[in-house]
Amino acid sequence: MDWITNWLANSAIVQDIITLAKPATFNLYFALISIPLGFPFAMLLALGKNSKNRILSTLSKAYIYAFRGSPLFIQFFMFYSFALSLNRSLWKPWGIDEIVLHPLFLGPLVLVLNTSAYAAEIFYGVMRTVPNGQIEAARAIGMNRWQEFWSVTWPNTIRLAWPAYTNEVVFLFHATALVYFTLPVINDQKDLMNKAGELFEKDYNVFLHFSVAALYFVAISMFIFFTFGLVQKYLSRHIRKEERQKFRFKPNYMR
Amino acid sequence: MIESIIESLVNLLGEDWRAGLEYITNGKHMMWYASIRFTLIAAIAGAAFAVLFGLLGAALKQSAIAPLRWIGSFYVNIVRGVPDVLFFLFFPLAFEQFVEYIFSRTRCTAEEIASNAGSWPPCDAAQWYLEGNDYLILACVSFGIVYGAFAANVIHGAMQAVPHGQLEAAQAYGFTKKQVFWRFKVRQMWTYALPGLSNVWMLLLKATSLLSLLQIADIVLWADRLGAPNYLARAGMVHPDWRWKYYLVLFVFYILMTMLSERVFDWLQRRANRGMVEVN
């Protein structure tokens, strides 16, 4: 057993895995905050785009188009510089400048704005394919619009959109790598890319450090696919086995 | 020429506009506008490489030889499984070190390598100095590799979608396997691949905003420089922090590029669908 402990203590890969464990929690933090906040916002945007109210649908459409049509990298810079320019007139007098300008606040904010546009497009696309017969049935038994949404549109949308939404979540997790390229790094609050870059500058071993960072990203992506796959199973438990949408473990990675 | 344009615009809009128009056409701003070329070159060359790597990846994925198939799947899955920015930074660094390693084999003595163990490069003679344009080429190849993995998936799916009867008919006419592949499968695949490839193009276009991470003076870097608070001893405060204005311009620029791309792809799709039976 000695050689195992020896190897573990001396192996550069193991050392890197240990060093990068804390930075990985920052990526996880950004994703874990943004996903639950982005989800309801995306649903509202999708309902907005689907609504018959012209103003509401135009606004939602424009929002979704703008945030899907521009790079997240630019969005980060833009919102950070917005926040900076409002610092003297708003945040400082209110005494909240340290919170608002903190990457741990601003990062998730921009990620939420971004991911909700992508997720809203997914939900919107699926909402239009909700089986018509079910909606007609709901109306025939006299449900009001709220009941119709809760008992037909919502559960169907979630179930049908889940595989694509899983993809979006993985993409969001990958997008967390951009946060600290655009926002200031405070103290030792570094994410995976930051820390890998820092380690690289010490010994120029690009293969080791970037591979270990990539390993973290792949491992956490796989974990997301696995847990979201379990949810998919739960969501389609009432459907006959043969008719279930097969949840592919390696879904289409297209955003 | 710019002066005459400003003159005519001032005549049209009034004297109040002169200062503003002169400001946005000064030397630095012209450099900013000119730096769009890096973005466009990276997008177009990156797309060309992506299609190339995509075809290669798709060919590997459906190869009859199992190890080649594994290489294809490994490439497609690993590159897509990590953030694009990670691979975008990794490839140029790794390529640089690879070249320096080859240099070191011929240019360094054994003693130098031994004394420099643990640091890079092994000796000064092996150092490879990269300049702006070298980074641009590396960035294009890097984009090609990353988005080639996405394209490989799209092309692979599109090749499966080509009706089998067509390929069988071609075989029946006596075309060789190679001819069937190139003249029928690849030619017909494009209509099925276009929606997916348009998606990959959009991703690539948005990823071109990352060029500044490789020290390329692209539109993002210039926007940051121009927007930063500008203080001149002679003139006093020229402008405070205007970065948000410049980033807003970039935000709109990318949205317009997306709109333009959508139109082009719509046109391409209509062209590719000529003579196809309209379904539904």
* Tens-place pLDDT, residues B76-99: 888 888 898 999 999 998 998 888
**pLDDT of A34:** 95
Looking at residue A158, its amino acid is I
Q: What is the pLDDT of residue B117?
A: 67
pLDDT reported for residue A17: 86
Q: What residue ranges of chain A have pLDDT lower than 70?
A: 1, 243-255
pLDDT band at B204 (very low <50, low <70, confident <90, very high): very high
- B194-205: average pLDDT: 92
CB atoms within 10 A of CB B25: 15
- Please give the structure tokens belonging to residue B240: 């405070």
Binning pLDDT at 50, 70 and 90, where does residue B237 land? confident
How many Å apart are CA A126 and CA A119, to the nearest integer?
11
Quick one: average pLDDT of B109-131?
Answer: 72
Q: pLDDT higher for A143 or B128? A: A143
A43 part of contact set with chain B, CB < 8 Å: no
- Rounded-to-integer distance, Cα B116 and Cα B17, Å: 61
Burial of B143 (0-12, 13-18, 19+ CB in 10 A): buried
DSSP annotation of B234 reads T
Query: Which of A77, A212, A217 is best to mutate for the B interface (most B CBs within 10 A)?
Result: A77
**Higher-scoring residue by pLDDT: B116, A20:** A20
pLDDT by residue (tens digit) across B66-82? 999 999 989 988 888 88
ipTM reported for the complex, 2 dp? 0.89
**Residue B186, pLDDT above cutoff 80:** yes
For residue B192, the distance in angstroms to the closest alpha carbon of chain A comes to 16
Cβ–Cβ below 8 Å for B254 and A250: no
In tens, the pLDDT along B10-65 reads: 888 877 788 788 888 888 888 899 999 999 999 999 999 999 999 999 989 888 88
> Which tokens go with A14?
């193991």
Most confident range (mean pLDDT) of A13-17, A137-141, B5-9, B109-113 is A137-141
In sequence order, the 6+-apart residues with CB closer than 8 A to the CB of B210 are A71, A73, B84, B85, B88
Q: Can you list the domains of chain A with their CATH numbers?
A: 13-243 (1.10.3720.10)
pLDDT in tens, A42-56: 999 999 999 999 999
Residue A107 has a pLDDT of 93
Report the percent of chain B where pLDDT is more than 90: 41
Instruction: Test A250 with B153 for CB contact under 8 angstroms.
Output: no
Please give the residue that has the higher pLDDT: either B245 or A253.
B245
In Å, how far are A25, B50, B171, B241 from B20, measured between CA atoms? 47, 41, 68, 17
- In this predicted structure, what is the pLDDT of residue A251? 47
Domains of chain B (ranges; CATH) run: 32-272 (1.10.3720.10)
B75, B77, B79, B82 alpha-carbon torsion, rounded to 10°: -160
pLDDT exceeds cutoff 70 at B199:
yes
Does A214 contact B86 at a Cβ distance shorter than 8 Å? Answer: yes
**B154 contact residues in A (CB cutoff 8 A):** 254
**CB pairs A-B closer than 8 Å:** 123
Q: Which residues of B touch A250 (CB under 8 A)?
A: 77
C-alpha–C-alpha distance, residues B215 and B157, integer Å:
36
